[in-house]
Amino acid sequence: MPPSTDKPAVDLSTPVQFLKGGGAHRAEQLARLGVTTVRDLLFNFPRDYQDLTDVRTIAALEEGPLVSVLGTVEEVDMRDGGGRSIVGVLVRQGDDHLRAVWFNQPFMREKFRRGQTVLLSGRARQRSTRWEMAHPHVKWIETEQDEPRGSLLPIYPLTEGLAQRHVGQLVRAALEACLDQLEEVFPAGYLEHHDLWPLRFALPQIHFPDSPEDLERARRRFVYQELLVLQLALALKRQQVQSSLEAHPLELSAKIDARIRRLFPFPLTAGQNQAVAEIAADMGRAYPMNRLLQGDVGSGKTIVAVYAMLLAVAHQTQVALMAPTEVLARQHLDTLDKLLAGSNTRLGLLAGGQSAKTREETLAGIAAGEIQIVIGTQAVIAAGVDFARLGLVVIDEQHKFGVRQRAALKHSAVHPHYLVMTATPIPRTVSMTLFGDLDVTTLIDSPPGRQNVHTYFPPAADRPRWWEFFRKKLREGRQAFVIVPLVARGSVADALQEETEPEEALAEPPSPAPATLFDEDVPAETAPPPVSLEEAYEHLANGELEAFRLGLIHGRMSSSEKQAAMDDFRAGRTQVLVATSVVEVGVDVPNATLMTIESAERFGLAQLHQLRGRISRGMHPGYCCVFTGVENDEARARLAAFVESSDGFRLSEVDFELRGPGDVLGTRQHGLPPLRVANLTRDAATLEEARRDAREMVEADPGLTSEEHALLRRMALVRYGKSLDLGDVG
């Protein structure tokens, strides 16, 4: 008799409403969470677990912690009180008793009978001479062989009307109906070699773990699988670039090298020379370079990028340099204009606020190939910008652009080489995920002559002393920034526009401010600190800095207004620039050596470090002072970490530990789907393992075309194919 081909009553594609305990109403609630099928439900893992494994005797109970108590049911009763039902169950343990109560849940009465052994889990409260638990979790001990231990209760994401028990019941029904239908993506030998649980063991245990140890084993299985699939997608992307995409080979010769170096007014550092060598080797190949250049504030990344641009120009190709703000774009234009004053290289700017005639002339020059280096914001990738022969794309502060924005420059038969830069050092685990398809060059050393920035976090009572010091330095001829988080108080839109975001705090005590900075005896100030630019400007112009020339700049100003503000500051016509975080990157005024940051707790650590990098860019040392608008231990402790370290790489790791990969660097816009199980801080070692295994797998089986890797390949393409443009892999 031939085997039956009937489809099982419930399979992985079955809508959840047809599960036991489902229904249309429950399915509608789950759909709000993105759960529509049995498969979705099985892989909708708990977001956390309630630990009920602390089993105690009644005599050892205390108020507060979650505990579990084993006992025998002695009495069950139900009564009405104040218009609601109360079910009470008296549990005995030796000579001690515990009462469990449920309000408005009359059905609980039918679940208990005298003589049952139960394990009650919850928070105990002392009521007169007896302990009581309200709405405890109950585990019925059916036989003497059952181990009376507490549970790890899953906590699922919920929506209105949906309770934990509803989700738990459906997950149990789904496991019972479909666990055997799931395909194992790893061969048995691979599972054993990598110490991974099979899917049929791991899936029930990640939902309803028998012990913390079992939960950890189950979690490792899914963390490794998730990270491996991501790393396989990234490895496939690298392979695709190297095997199927064509680029202009821009080789470096001794003659070109000498011509480029003659344009620089100083010799390159050892770190810059190493970076140049790595980039030049990539650009000499016939497939596109994909390289990330990262370095701390002031490490000399711009010079390395200029070298790469001039190498492209030497081969009669064009360069697109894209910056996140017009302030930074114009800064790059000024820098290149000075560096290339003695060359025949023609520069062009594309930015908002240009006249129609200027823009039309620039576009014509780009299309004709007459403009070799095009600098701009997102206007560089706008419709109507046609390059004659694009050879190199340079993206500065690349984390401020999404993947699709960056990719828009690459749509041509011959792809340009691709160099991205950031002055916000990227934690290693983030680099291996969000930028895992890129090669990474890191600049560690700083150019000679770079001055230190002295950073302070004084108590509020020392504000007048700081402002006296501030005025003293201005009278000596220095210039300064005053940074505030908002354009106008109470505007959330302003806070988002200026990319200012609060974050969590370190749990370390702050160090006291150095006593050597303030030597005048100035009375303490009690006025609240300004939060908005409007408040700060008015407060300073009529108070501490009324004798000095002030300017202001923020993201809501027009292009011409921002440019005028920066021109006045660079020329010294204004001594103090009151600004939001719009000056976070690209502003280079060597005479600016002072910075006050108000309400500093509203900024991320990496952002504070970027702001601090705007000062001490010349021959004079810098001084940065941060004040908080919220006096609490957490804010003070976090800012203390900023004061104690001038190492951007260390601060990036601290920032990452505090805020996680979803916030640091603005990576929520990176374009990749979020991780469901893995935590890049906790699972760094597993990430390293998965990355190594993925690269070995793709090297041994290009395109993952073997039958053994078919399921993994499918998972990588389904999950990341669109965001990484992997549709033609294999």
| Mean pLDDT over each residue of the chain, to the nearest integer | 83
CATH code of the domain in which 568 resides:
3.40.50.300
Q: Give 575's pLDDT tier (boundaries 50, 70, 90).
A: very high
- Which phi-psi region, left, alpha or beta, contains residue 353 (left: φ > 0; alpha: ψ -120 to 50)? left
- Which phi-psi region, left, alpha or beta, contains residue 490 (left: φ > 0; alpha: ψ -120 to 50)? left
275 lies in some domain = yes
577 lies in some domain = yes
Residues 509 and 369 in one domain: no
Residues 427 and 500 in one domain: no
Q: Which ranges constitute the DSSP H helices of 580-709? A: 605-612, 633-644, 648-659, 684-700
230 lies in some domain = yes
pLDDT, tens only, 82-117: 778 899 999 999 989 999 999 988 999 999 999 999
Query: CA 657 to CA 82: how far, in whole Å?
Result: 50
113 lies in some domain = yes
Query: CA 101 to CA 76: how far, in whole Å?
Result: 10
The one-character DSSP state at 80 is E
Token pair listed for 566: 């920066």
Residues 278 and 308 in one domain: yes
Beta-carbon count within 10 A of 591 CB: 17
Residues 433 and 459 in one domain: no
The whole-model pTM stands at 0.68
Residues 234 and 360 in one domain: no
* 416 close to 393: Cβ distance less than 8 angstroms: yes
Task: State the average pLDDT over residues 392-397.
Answer: 88
More confident residue, 276 or 343: 276
Residues 517 and 438 in one domain: no
pLDDT, tens only, 367-382: 999 999 999 987 787 7
Counting runs of H as helices and runs of E as strands, what totals does the chain give? 22, 22
Q: Give 626's pLDDT tier (boundaries 50, 70, 90).
A: very high
Contacts of 218 (CB under 8 A, 6+ apart): 197, 201, 202, 203, 205, 206, 209
- The percentage of the chain sitting over the pLDDT mark of 70, rounded to a whole number, equals 85
Residues 267 and 389 in one domain: yes
Task: State the average pLDDT over residues 339-358.
Answer: 86
Query: CA 436 to CA 691: how far, in whole Å?
Result: 9
Residues 420 and 300 in one domain: yes
pLDDT of 598 strictly over 60: yes
Residues 573 and 652 in one domain: yes
Query: CA 507 to CA 275: how far, in whole Å?
Result: 37
Q: Which of 661, 686, 704 is the last residue of a domain?
A: 661
Q: Give 6's pLDDT tier (boundaries 50, 70, 90).
A: low
| Bridge partner residues of 152 (DSSP) | 51
* 55 close to 149: Cβ distance less than 8 angstroms: yes
CATH code of the domain in which 66 resides:
2.40.50.140
Query: CA 451 to CA 447: how far, in whole Å?
Result: 10
What is the tally of structural domains in the chain?
Answer: 4
559 lies in some domain = yes
User: Within its chain, how far is the Cα of 293 from the centroid?
Assistant: 18
CA-closest candidate to residue 248, choices 345, 319, 177: 319
- pLDDT at residue 670, rounded to an integer: 53
Domain that holds residue 58: 54-150
30 lies in some domain = no
Query: CA 465 to CA 10: how far, in whole Å?
Result: 74
Q: Where is 140: in which H helix or E strand?
A: strand 137-141
Q: Which of 616, 637, 661 is the last residue of a domain?
A: 661
CA-closest candidate to residue 374, choices 303, 312, 297, 301: 312
Residues 519 and 648 in one domain: yes
User: Within its chain, how far is the Cα of 528 from the centroid?
Assistant: 32
* 661 close to 667: Cβ distance less than 8 angstroms: yes
- Least confidently predicted of 205-209, 238-242, 264-268, 286-290: 238-242
State the Rg of the chain over Cα: 32
- Strands 117-127 and 137-141 turn out to be antiparallel
Query: CA 207 to CA 256: how far, in whole Å?
Result: 62
CA distances in angstroms from 339 to 265, 374, 619, listed in the order given: 8, 15, 20
* 396 close to 421: Cβ distance less than 8 angstroms: yes
| Bridge partner residues of 154 (DSSP) | 49
Residues 487 and 548 in one domain: yes
387 lies in some domain = yes
Residue in the block written with tokens 């249309």: 24
Query: CA 440 to CA 421: how far, in whole Å?
Result: 10
Residues 427 and 541 in one domain: no
33 lies in some domain = no
- The percentage of the chain sitting over the pLDDT mark of 90, rounded to a whole number, equals 47
Query: CA 220 to CA 209: how far, in whole Å?
Result: 13
Contacts of 260 (CB under 8 A, 6+ apart): 307, 310, 311, 314
